[in-house]
Structure 1
Amino acid sequence: MRKLLFSVLLIAGVSGCTAVGDFLKPYRIDVRQGNFITQEMVSQLKPGMSRDQVRFVLGTPLVTDVFHGDRWDYVYRFQPGKGALQERRLAVVFEEGKLVRVEGDVRPGEVQPSQ
């Protein structure tokens, strides 16, 4: 029985049969890490907002740098079981405790196409 199974797998591998190859791959889960920031959340940000107001809108930042206390980084990473890695980055910069600018992949005021 093992020889038969091995022979079938060998022939399928040599012949380039992707259906059998996909069937034998292990299941991989979708992995989501970080802060998921939507366009609607970023659109709520206005210059002059306090740190507490920004935290209320976006949530607690994933990264707060000790050396750059006036910058919060929100990072989101999605690795589907099958498919390409997706990453989003957003940085919020404060001066004197007030929001000055937003940098990154998602910008305030950009309109996403409806799906």
Structure 2
Amino acid sequence: MILRSGFLTLAVCLLAACSFKPYRIDVRQGNAITQEMVARLTPGMSRDQVRLVMGSPMLVDVFHADRWDYVYQFSSGYKTPERRKLTVFFEGDKLARLDGDVVPASGEMPVLPVTPRMIDITGPAPAAKP
């Protein structure tokens, strides 16, 4: 009787374990690319300005130095992965054009005024050691 109930308990546990899908974590790879970021890019921007807005590119081709590729993929559990790609082309050191599946958001992004701040790092001289 004990053997029979033990076997029944084991069978129920094994069948219950097979009925659920395992948990899959959300995986984000690459640079997050938003419409707002793309809207801030304007022709004539320098490479440093583009890097400040978009972050470091995922791919900088040695043979095509005037092309930067930004790739982003978000996999959420069992859903179809979301992929975004943006290619930035330069002529000389200035932004020439964009290509990819991310378009700028409609409307202008508000430009906030930047006020420089001066911080005084000179303080009293350190006390002399005896």
Give the TM interval when normalised to the shorter protein: 0.7 to 0.9
The whole-number CA distance in structure 1 between the counterparts of 2:59 and 2:96 is: 18
The whole-number CA distance in structure 2 between the counterparts of 1:99 and 1:76 is: 21
The whole-number CA distance in structure 2 between the counterparts of 1:67 and 1:2 is: 66
Task: Return the match for 2:29 from 30, 33, 42.
Answer: 33
1:16 alignment partner in structure 2:
none
The whole-number CA distance in structure 1 between the counterparts of 2:47 and 2:98 is: 13
Task: Return the match for 1:76 from 53, 61, 72.
Answer: 72
Unaligned runs of 5+ in 2: 1-5, 107-130
CA RMSD of aligned residues (A): 2.2
Deviations 1:72-107 (A, max 9, x none): 000001111121111000000001111000000112
Task: Indicate yes or no: 2:54 matched with 1:58.
Answer: yes
May I ask how many residue pairs the two structures share in their alignment?
101
**Percent of residue pairs bearing the same amino acid type:** 59
SS of the residue 1:56 aligns to:
helix
Q: TM-score, normalised by structure 1?
A: 0.77
Task: Indicate yes or no: 2:93 matched with 1:88.
Answer: no
The whole-number CA distance in structure 1 between the counterparts of 2:7 and 2:29 is: 41
- Higher-Rg structure is 2
Unaligned runs of 5+ in 1: 13-19
Deviations 1:1-60 (A, max 9, x none): 4555536866x8xxxxxxx73xx2211101100000111110010001000010011011
Higher helix proportion (structure 1 or 2): 1
1:6 alignment partner in structure 2:
11
CA distance 1:101–1:6, change in 2 (3 Å): same
SS of the residue 2:43 aligns to:
coil
